[in-house]
Structure 1
Amino acid sequence: MVVVRVPAEPSRHRVAVWRELRRIGALSLGQGVWGVPDVPVFSDGISKVTELAQRGEGEVLVLDAVGREEADSARLEALFTAERAEEWTEFLADCGKFAAEIDKEIRNQKFTMAELEEEEQSLERLRRWHRDSTARDVFGAPEAAAAEQQLRHCADRLVDYTERVFQALHQM
């Protein structure tokens, strides 16, 4: 459990702490109270949250916590997994947008190096997002398997598009 107190003004410190907590995948449990599983992948993020809060003359209290009953622990795990499921759903939607963009470029026969570079950057962003989400998904949200499959599909779509770009360039 992470308990955070940062003065309201200036708000940039509070916002920076909030953004970092969201970035690392912390679960908001109430005003200034966050939960993360006690696994090494979250350690650096918690250190950064502490540093950001202290810059804003705030404080962070990090506690080891366990549910009083098995049901409490199971509930926290379910809440954390639900957050990851939402993240995976958003990721899957972006994969769909990526594939649709590739399809549009093929349909419009826009086979340029500039467009290819843009699509490569988009795929790289998806790969980073997938890597980070996988690291945070310590309990294994069911949507993770579909996300892995969709990322492979996106990579395959880019390979196809790349081949078309190079064919078009060599015909000129």
Structure 2
Amino acid sequence: MTSEPERSWLLISVSTAGAADTLRVQVWRKLRALGALYLQQSVCLLPARAEVLRELRRLADRIRHQGGTARILTMAFTDPAEEQAVIAELNAARDAEYAEVLDRLPELRRELADEQARGNATYAEVEESEADLQRFRTWLGKIATRDYFAAPGGQTARDAVEQAAAELAAFEEAALRAEAPVAGDGPRPLDRP
């Protein structure tokens, strides 16, 4: 029977007592951006990965230079079931973030459909919707960065964003047709890459 390879984890303990209040907010934001799982106040857990450790070392250095304390300890679970429970919690947190993307995405798709139904397929609307789509892609990228164990909701969210991109491409085609002069009325707009 082959056992699963042992994973290393990083246990992070932070105190910003005595430091500026802004440091506490900076620490919370950074740990949240990394996808840390809080075990209790000021103590959290992350998988031991090179990029995570690098970011934590920078954060710990900033904390210490601003009057706080920080410790980063490497650990391994002795109980595989406990480790799986932690991975499930991390995945649940990522799935909640992916669900928020899925909850907000229909608004973009509805706006495209409404504008097209109103006959308002214009290049200005395309640009506005492209900016919205890029925000969704950026948001999804940030979630994916902290999705260490491939949470199940990730693929659904990526597929939904790509479906919205396909709908935007169709909207853009409609805008090009709507704004292009009728044959013989002058030059046609250049194709976009």
The SS at the match of 1:2 is strand
How many residue pairs are counted as aligned between the two chains? 172
2-structure distance, mates of 1:86, 1:11:
29
* Aligned match of 1:20: 30
1:147 aligns with 2:157: yes
Greater than 3 Å deviation, 4+ residue runs: none
1-structure distance, mates of 2:57, 2:139:
21
Shift of 1:10: 3.0
1:136 aligns with 2:109: no
User: Whose radius of gyration is greater, 1 or 2?
Assistant: 2
Give TM-score scaled by structure 2 length.
Answer: 0.80
Name the Cα RMSD after superposition. Answer: 2.0
Shift of 1:111: 2.5
Shift of 1:71: 1.7
- Does the C-alpha gap of structure 1 residues 100 and 41 become closer, same or farther in structure 2, counting only changes over 3 Å? farther
Percent pairwise identity: 27
Shift of 1:44: 4.1
Pick which of 2-11 and 118-127 moved more: 2-11
Q: Which has the higher helix share?
A: 1
Q: Which runs of no fewer than 5 residues in structure 1 stay unpaired?
A: none
* Aligned match of 2:186: none
Q: Which runs of no fewer than 5 residues in structure 2 stay unpaired?
A: 1-10, 183-193
Shift of 1:56: 3.1
Give TM-score scaled by structure 1 length.
Answer: 0.88
Cα displacement string for residues 90-125 of structure 1 (whole angstroms, at most 9, x for unaligned residues): 121122222122222222332333322121111111
Q: How does 1:1-172 map to 2 (within 5 A)?
A: 1-7=11-17, 10-171=20-181
Look up the equivalent residue of 2:172 and give its one-letter code. T
- Does the C-alpha gap of structure 1 residues 42 and 105 become closer, same or farther in structure 2, counting only changes over 3 Å? farther
1-structure distance, mates of 2:102, 2:62:
31
